[in-house]
Amino acid sequence: MKNQEKIFVIGHKNPDTDSICSAIAYCDIKNRTSQHQKFIPKRAGQINEETEYVLSRFGVQPPGYLSNIGTQVKDMDIRMSPDADKGMSLKAAWDIMQENSIVSLPIRDKEGALEGLITIGDIAKTYMDTTDSYLLSRARTQYQKIAETIDGEVIEGNPHGYFIKGRVMVGTANPDKMKEYIEEDDMIIMGDREEDHLQAISQNVSCIIVGLGIQVSENVMKLAHEKDIIIISSPYDTFTIARLINQSIPVRYIMKTENLVTFNTEDFTDDIQDVMIKHRHRAFPVINKKGKCIGTISRRNFLGMHKKQVVLVDHNEIDQAVDNIEKADILEIIDHHKLGTLQTVQPISFRNQPVGCTGTIMYQIYGEQKLEISPKIAGLLCAAIISDTLMFRSPTCTLQDKMAAGALALIADISIEQFAKEMFRAGSNLKDKSPEEIFYQDYKKFIAEGDICFGVGQISSMDSEELKEIKERLLPFMVSECGRHGVTRVYFMLTDIITQSTELLFYGEGSREMAENAFKMEPENDAFYLEGVVSRKKQLIPPLMEAAQMSGDYA
């Protein structure tokens, strides 16, 4: 369906397997139950190795990257411009602008690229300049365009030739007087007297224009032919011809070609508003991704701007959402985390369940909608549940998660234990990664009461030796990271899936004290050793938040 409304389904920044796979699954659900809307999965960050392995295993393309959900020029009502080239006359351009009720006309080449811009004001200014008798020749005006502008026709000579030298004159004096002011190569507007025509020919003018549809004698036609002189016949009188003729010059002569202020369809509207205010043009050309000019926009277009529509999965915190989320129209949220900081203008569908994975909720929705789950989607959702619950070892895991994973594994024809080993092994292959890549692979920022801003990253592995190597590389990076993006305290969870324990690294003023208050223990050297702690959401963040609240760091 051509006019389907696009709706993006997207997870949080630094996406994990659950946020990616749930976005893909929900688009499958909605596209099978909606006719007038097209749901498109997107990602707000780089896909990690674990998710990459899962997508590859089940032959599913990763969602496209969307770094900013703000409104763009392509979300505005772009006014499509009619075809106009630089060879057309001013009159033709004027007629197009009047027919389409536009004040600015982009001039494009055969491929659609912008070559210049002409406005009503440019044409009016040229039309008012009646003292320049060399205007037509300086503009290299084609004889055919001159004839069309005065509703005439070329009755002698090459209509495709150009008037390139001389003035435009009105030849109403007697032949003797004409000798004094007519020069070679001039263009002469004349009446019906044959002797005047002959005098003009004898003086080697470039072109003779006769009005009122007057028939030119055969003798004049013959002599004009011999001297390559153009003769144009028009139904208008001399005054009207003289008044209209300047409108025949080609658009290229007066169109603006330098310092044009243009916008790209991908430009964000936040970035172009100041430019519009500064230049205050009536309209600005818009260029698409292929380099073609497709139309114009004006300040008025901001009034009818279309916000991007989005469904959020696996998060409801503004700091974890795609950039500029406040500029988007949030339609739904499907999540399994605590209530966050996102706000909406209107009531929305918000489904938030205390389960271990958003993928479990997706499995339930398939059942509620009575939709069959394909093996590919089943594999993705099963992987999401295994990942988020650390193969059912996380305290966030519920019976619903286990039942959903079991059913999905049957559909996908996979062994949960074997698949989990392969998936975790792919996800913990961190040898070739920089400390920064490891740190941000699964990182989230939190704000406690009193504006205490802290960040928590996590790596889960089945290889304890690998976790030791990662620790040595991460500690120096955490020092440089503290203080960026308003984060004053930095934590990192090195989670061992086999032993179901976490080594918590910390850095930043107050970070040690906050963790001590949260877990009622002191660190060993540079880390807290937390037995049985594997879940950031359920086991780490709540006590840290409570400790921050009780620490006396704010009034």
- In the chain, where are the structural domains located? 5-70+308-426, 74-126+253-302, 140-248, 435-550
- Residue 553: the pLDDT is 46
Task: Write down the CATH superfamily of domain 435-550.
Answer: DHHA2 domain (3.10.310.20)
Which of 5-14, 149-158, 175-184, 314-323 is predicted least confidently?
Answer: 175-184
224-273 confidence digits (pLDDT tens): 999 999 999 999 999 999 989 999 999 999 999 999 999 999 999 988 98
Distance CA 504, CA 510 (A): 15
400, 355 contact by CB (below 8 A):
yes
pLDDT class for 3, splitting at 50, 70, 90? low
Greater model confidence, 99 or 548: 99
The conformational region for residue 370 under phi > 0 = left, psi -120 to 50 = alpha, else beta, is left
- The CATH number assigned to the domain with range 140-248 reads 3.40.1390.20
- Residue 218: the pLDDT is 95
Q: What angle do CA 40, 45, 50 make, to 5 degrees?
A: 95
Give Cα 22 distance to the centre of its chain: 24
**Topology classification of domain 5-70+308-426:** inorganic pyrophosphatase (n-terminal core) (3.90.1640)
Q: List the structure tokens of 247.
A: 């409108």
- Residue 59: the pLDDT is 97
Confidence check: pLDDT of 128 > 90: no
Confidence check: pLDDT of 366 > 60: yes
Confidence check: pLDDT of 333 > 50: yes
Single pTM value for the model: 0.68
Which of 156-160, 198-202, 357-361, 467-471 is predicted least confidently?
Answer: 467-471
- Residue 555: the pLDDT is 35
pLDDT class for 129, splitting at 50, 70, 90? low
Mean pLDDT of the chain: 91
Greater model confidence, 275 or 28: 28
32, 366 contact by CB (below 8 A):
no
Kindly state the average pLDDT of the residues 63-79.
92
- Residue 305: the pLDDT is 80
Residue spans of beta strands (DSSP E) within 420-511: 443-448, 452-461, 489-496, 501-507
**Coil, strand or helix: which one is 323?**
strand
280-327 confidence digits (pLDDT tens): 788 999 999 999 999 999 888 877 788 999 999 999 999 999 999 999
CA distances from 500 to 393, 460, 506 (A): 7, 10, 20
* Rg of the chain over all Cα atoms, to the nearest angstrom: 37
- The CATH number assigned to the domain with range 74-126+253-302 reads 3.10.580.10
Kindly state the average pLDDT of the residues 82-107.
93
Percent of the chain with pLDDT over 70: 98
Confidence check: pLDDT of 180 > 90: no
The secondary structure of 45-74, three-state, reads: CCCCHHHHHHHHHCCCCCCEECCECCCEHH
Residue from 200, 215, 213 nearest 240 by CA: 213
- Residue 465: the pLDDT is 86
**Dihedral of alpha carbons 71, 74, 79, 84, sign:** positive
- Residue 554: the pLDDT is 39
